[in-house]
Structure 1
Amino acid sequence: MKNTFKNEFKIGAALNTAQIEERDSKMTALIMQQFNALTPENVMKSEVIHPAWDTYDFTVADKLVAFAQKNKMELNGHTLIWHSQLSPFARKINSVDSFRTFFTNHIKTIASRYDGKIFSWDVVNEALNEDGTMRKSVFLEKLGEDYVIEAFRLAQQAAPNTELYYNDYNNEQPAKRNGCIQLIKKIQAAGVRIDGVGIQGHWHVGKVPLKEIEESIEAYDALGLKVMFTELDIEVLPRNFQGADVNQRMATDPSLNPYVNGIPANVLAQQAKDYENLFRLFLKHKDKVTRVTLWGVDDGQSWLNDWPVRGRTNYPLLFDRTLTPKPAFEAVLSLKN
């Protein structure tokens, strides 16, 4: 994939700890063969990298940086500020001044460590509600709505050689897109650098909103920003809500896990058509889209096996559980061959 689209955009994957530590040689070979951009699934999230007030754990994050450098891959840091998977001590901070100190030290310590070693940061992740208003997170509660501007300002100071992105899901939908645009304009009006916006791309088979995606690519580009698709997967299992809020859950029910013993060919064919149409759109806007990252390498790794229902058998990516290319993989490559 990386060679097929080398003249258009980077092709990325999100890696877990086992992949970063190269525990499976077949997996490592596939990653090196197919991808030229990497994002950590979890090891740079604050609960992992900053477990206590005065304690940082860079062990696996440093290994990821070394892996990316060794293989000449672009690395996107994910994520400096996010309300979920937050450092466990942070929610217990009562003083606003102390919370601001945590916020400042967290960004400066991590961003400065990797300045020049990684290509980009998701500085703030998922700060918006579906209607485009600011999410009532602990950051909004403690620091006010300008915390996003301040996060980008601090990241700009700490990592002058790193691109800075805002990342969210459903920000291709009109109401949330409008809120995202207003947020970006506020950052720009404050004279603070923002280089791009990430559209996560957690979509459902047969329901990929191509019209809204195209409108969003054009709208974000009009702000002078790069556009990335940062967490792409196309889910095949049923659920009763849209979006990717990790705090939402559904009760376990056999009807919600219909493909335990394999997935029907017609569902794989629809998924292939969805991926093909998506990548055709990305190619149409290759002057605006700079990276397309899959949220995982193979179906077995995907977070969608355990969310919003634990223990399901999902099939959202381009490689199956044996690392064999799926029809969707072939459909995407066929666009250039």
Structure 2
Amino acid sequence: MKRIILLGLMTLAVSNVTAQKSEGSLKKAYQDKFYIGTAMNLEQINGTDKKSVEIIKKQFSSIVAENCMKSMYLQPQEGQFFFKDADKFVEFGEKNKMFIIGHTLIWHSQAPDWFFVDKDGKNVSPEVLKQRMKNHITTIVSRYKRRVKGWDVVNEAILEDGSYRKSKFYEILGEEFIPLAFKYAQEADPNAELYYNDYNEWHPGKVKRVTMLVKDLKSKGIRIDGVGMQAHIGMDTPSIDEYEKAILAYAESGVKVNITELDISALPSPWGTSANIADKVAYDEKMNPYKKGLPKEVQTQWENRYEDFFSLFLKHKDNIRRVTLWGVSDNQSWKNDFPIKGRTDYPLLFDRQFKAKPIVRKLIKLVEESN
């Protein structure tokens, strides 16, 4: 009798494992490796895009706001904060027990014009900009204290050659604006994780400068917990070797690595390509070759690219805190219109009908085989 019961329990255990595997959940598969996240747009935050919401609940353990927590939306006029959308976003994450990321506190783009000028339209003094930064950061981070678990404190401040972007923040405050932003965020919520986030984050010049920035902040007693690698990847660049070197460099500087805005474009890159204005139509056609779907061989190459990068992330799982996709389904991706209007791209894990692509099962199998 005992043997029968034992066999029954073993069969039940095996069936439960099989059920979990067949369920096809990235969240479950990667739960012991790192957070798997996605960016949420307003339709998802407000619950009107029900198909995406169901995918997010099932597949992802972390969320980041695509736009609604950027300064132009949170504080469109000085002292006038708009929290309705951000509040809903945070509530969604709490209700579904997700690791919530705030994006982004200080960024030169999508910042309201008033932030940098006086009533006459001239640049404000360094003292005024410091006060505006402190008020903005303190108000937002304090509101979501202990609720938002990590913040992209500063976004895209370094260029590929390692020099500082000549933004208004830099023009008025110089390099000081970055440590100030981290200091204000740390004071507002000492328990939240604080990140520096950037794109083309694998370029050696940028890697060198960002690692120097991390070490400089730490030497001043200012906390920085992670570097965000946006990971807007093409079919050819960066190479796995280039990306691995960047991951290791950031990790060796004493912070965790976050993959923050992952998508892999299947389209040819227009960078470094010139086109005569008279040939623009032909050029646009060349840059938009897959209007009705990816050819099988391109689809296979694209899937292999995703598997190669996730294999890399699993290899360095001890240094990686989170892997976040920049969106749910292809039809919602910003890559469709970038950098040429009207392009049709296929950079995400779910198709235009909100169905999981074969790559989802492959990424789940990848982690199962690594255990």
TM-score bin (small chain)? over 0.9
Alignment equivalent of 1:95, drawn from 124, 128, 132? 124
AA matched with 1:297: V
2:36 — aligned with what?
11
Equivalent positions of 1:109-120 (< 5 A) are: 109-120=139-150
Alignment equivalent of 1:296, drawn from 314, 317, 327? 327
Mapped to 1, the partners of 2:203 and 2:28 lie a distance apart of: 31
The offset of 1:91, in angstroms, is: 4.0
In the alignment, structure 2 segments of 5+ residues that lack a partner are 1-25, 273-279
Mapped to 2, the partners of 1:61 and 1:212 lie a distance apart of: 36
Alignment equivalent of 1:169, drawn from 199, 203, 206? 199
Task: Check the 8 A contact 1:206/1:274 in 2, yes or no.
Answer: no
Equivalent positions of 1:257-336 (< 5 A) are: 257-336=288-367
Task: Check the 8 A contact 1:43/1:60 in 2, yes or no.
Answer: yes
2:61 — aligned with what?
36
Mapped to 1, the partners of 2:164 and 2:236 lie a distance apart of: 30
Q: Which secondary structure state, in structure 2, belongs to the residue aligned with residue 118 of structure 1?
A: coil
Aligned residues: 330
Q: Which has the larger radius of gyration?
A: 2
Match status 1:123 vs 2:153: yes
Q: Which secondary structure state, in structure 2, belongs to the residue aligned with residue 229 of structure 1?
A: strand
Task: Check the 8 A contact 2:117/2:124 in 1, yes or no.
Answer: no
Q: Deviations over 1:282-315 (max 9, x none)?
A: 1111111110000001111111112211222111
Match status 1:151 vs 2:181: yes
Mapped to 1, the partners of 2:130 and 2:238 lie a distance apart of: 39
Greater displacement, 255-264 / 116-125: 255-264
Q: Deviations over 1:94-124 (max 9, x none)?
A: 2213322221111111111111011100000
Task: Check the 8 A contact 1:13/1:39 in 2, yes or no.
Answer: yes
Task: Check the 8 A contact 2:154/2:196 in 1, yes or no.
Answer: yes
TM-score of the pair, normalised by structure 1: 0.94
Match status 1:137 vs 2:162: no
Identity %: 46
AA matched with 1:81: I
Greater displacement, 320-329 / 280-289: 320-329
2:7 — aligned with what?
none
Q: Deviations over 1:42-94 (max 9, x none)?
A: 00011111100111111100000000000000111000000011123224342
The offset of 1:260, in angstroms, is: 1.4
Mapped to 2, the partners of 1:300 and 1:175 lie a distance apart of: 34
Structure 1 residue ranges (4+ consecutive) displaced by more than 4 angstroms after TM superposition: none
Match status 1:52 vs 2:63: no
Task: Check the 8 A contact 2:108/2:167 in 1, yes or no.
Answer: yes
The offset of 1:199, in angstroms, is: 0.5
The CA RMSD over aligned residues, in Å, is: 1.6
Mapped to 2, the partners of 1:98 and 1:223 lie a distance apart of: 33
AA matched with 1:17: L
Equivalent positions of 1:51-90 (< 5 A) are: 51-90=76-115
Q: Which secondary structure state, in structure 2, belongs to the residue aligned with residue 334 of structure 1?
A: helix
Q: Deviations over 1:224-247 (max 9, x none)?
A: 2111100000011223328xxxxx
The offset of 1:270, in angstroms, is: 0.7
1:215 — aligned with what?
245
In the alignment, structure 1 segments of 5+ residues that lack a partner are 243-249
Mapped to 1, the partners of 2:330 and 2:124 lie a distance apart of: 43
Match status 1:227 vs 2:248: no
Q: Which secondary structure state, in structure 2, belongs to the residue aligned with residue 63 of structure 1?
A: helix
AA matched with 1:95: V
1:247 — aligned with what?
none
- Pair 1:30–1:143, CA change in 2 (3 A): same
Task: Check the 8 A contact 1:275/1:331 in 2, yes or no.
Answer: no
